[in-house]
Amino acid sequence: MTNTAQGDLLLKNINAQAPFPISFADLEQAAAEKLAAGPFGYIRSGAGGEQTLRNNRAAFERYSIVPRFLNDVSTIDTSIELFGKTYPTPLLFAPVGMNGMAHDKGELAVVEAAHHLRIPYIQSTVSTYSLEEVAHAAPDATKWFQLYWSTNEDIAYSMAARAEAAGFEAIVLTVDTVMLGWREEDVRNQFSPLKLGYAKGNYINDPVFMATLPDHSFESYVQGVLQNIFHPTLSWENIRELKRRTNLPILLKGILHPEDAKLAIANGIDGIIVSNHGGRQLDGVVGSLDALPAIVEAVNGQVPIILDSGVYRGMDALKALALGADAVTIGRPFVYGLALAGQEGVEKVMTNLYDELKVSIALAGATSVKALRNITLVKNDRTDVK
């Protein structure tokens, strides 16, 4: 990072004509003004009384960095390696469903941003556009597929096979959403995105799913999705079978307990995403950053660990990386960027997070993502620095 490049980070925002919101609070406020109450409430809210949502932020606030100085930090290497490929930044896109409710171009805008930024894009099962449409929009982007299991297992296998055929490079199986969390905001707003057709993309393009419907009417599609999307019987045996049926690496998303991380490895899983779904599933759950250290210890470097839930600043990413995550994924911030300015908004949000992360690595006294592991962190209830 040269001095000029570093000075540019703030200047480019100061010179911008209509300042784009920078902090998470400002982004959320701007999205609230732009979107209707239903979609905004769906994106913003957490489950139940939103304790998990608060726990995520509290966990980041609890840690402080003890920086080191007089270490040449003129060159900062923010690159990371995952599954044999190198990426310029440890900030990836979390899988977020139904992007059509934020912007007409939905997932197409996000995958184009991912391609431009050269970071992996994780497409949700419940996306507005299909796997094939997303692959067509950005054939050269690195794309992973987030799979929601299905009560009819053949639909899950069919979607995994379609992802592989369309050039997706990994499967992210979400394990914390076997049924939908208790989301009071959606009940208040009488908002059901599935019933509004925002999740059509992958279902209406799936021959196995379509063959289960009595006809091709919209009502049959909605009933079909509702019958299949909730999958409370999901078990380790399903995961072993999925592993037998795909050549792609499989990551489990939603792991919070170190024993589940160990079981994941014992069952041949290739990566772990420490996440509480951004506080949208079980309320009263440990903040994802608080769950990270025990999982890092249990995994002991055997597979990559990615963290999400509450990463709203470059500094949050730094703390997760310093505690042992290999990368972090970003959820709501990019969705707000998408709502505000499509692909450009997504890129602005990710670039601002990146710029803050890069400056923070240098100011903490490290020169690379890897070197962050040597940075001292203290919990705020402890004041002793070793």
Ligand X SMILES: CCCCCCC(=O)C(=O)O
DSSP category for residue 1: -
Secondary-structure breakdown of the chain: helix, strand, coil percentages, each rounded to the nearest 5: 50, 10, 40
Judged by beta carbon, residue 280 or residue 348, the one nearer ligand X is: 280
- State the binding partner of 230 from ligand FMN, ligand X, none, CB within 5 to 8 A by kind: ligand X
Contacts of 28 (CB under 8 A, 6+ apart): 44, 332, 336
Angle formed by the axes of helices 37-44 and 24-34, nearest 10°: 150
Catalytic residue annotation: 277
Residue 246 Rama label (left phi>0; alpha psi -120 to 50; beta): beta
The reply on whether position 16 binds ligand X by CB under 6 A is no
Angle formed by the axes of helices 153-165 and 236-245, nearest 10°: 40
Other beta carbons less than 10 A from residue 211's beta carbon: 10
Q: How far is CA 37 from the centre of its chain?
A: 23
280 is in an annotated binding site: yes
- State the binding partner of 253 from ligand X, ligand FMN, none, CB within 5 to 8 A by kind: ligand FMN
Structure tokens at 367: 């020169």
The reply on whether position 45 binds ligand FMN by CB under 6 A is no
Q: How far is the first Cα of the chain from the last one, in angstroms, to the nearest whole number?
A: 30
> Judged by CB under 6 A, how many residues of this single chain contact ligand FMN?
23
- Which parts of 245-274 interact with ligand FMN (CB under 6 A)? 253
The reply on whether position 249 binds ligand X by CB under 6 A is no
- State the binding partner of 225 from ligand FMN, ligand X, none, CB within 5 to 8 A by kind: none
- State the binding partner of 313 from ligand X, ligand FMN, none, CB within 5 to 8 A by kind: none
> Judged by CB under 6 A, how many residues of this single chain contact ligand X?
9
Q: How far is CA 310 from the centre of its chain?
A: 10
User: Which H or E element spans position 339?
Assistant: helix 332-364
Judged by beta carbon, residue 115 or residue 277, the one nearer ligand X is: 277
- Which parts of 128-167 interact with ligand FMN (CB under 6 A)? 146
- Residues in contact with ligand FMN by CB under 6 A are 42-43, 94-97, 124, 126, 146, 174, 253, 275, 277-278, 280, 308-311, 330-332, 335
Residues of each annotated binding site? 42, 95-97, 124, 146, 148, 174, 183, 253, 275, 277, 280, 331-332
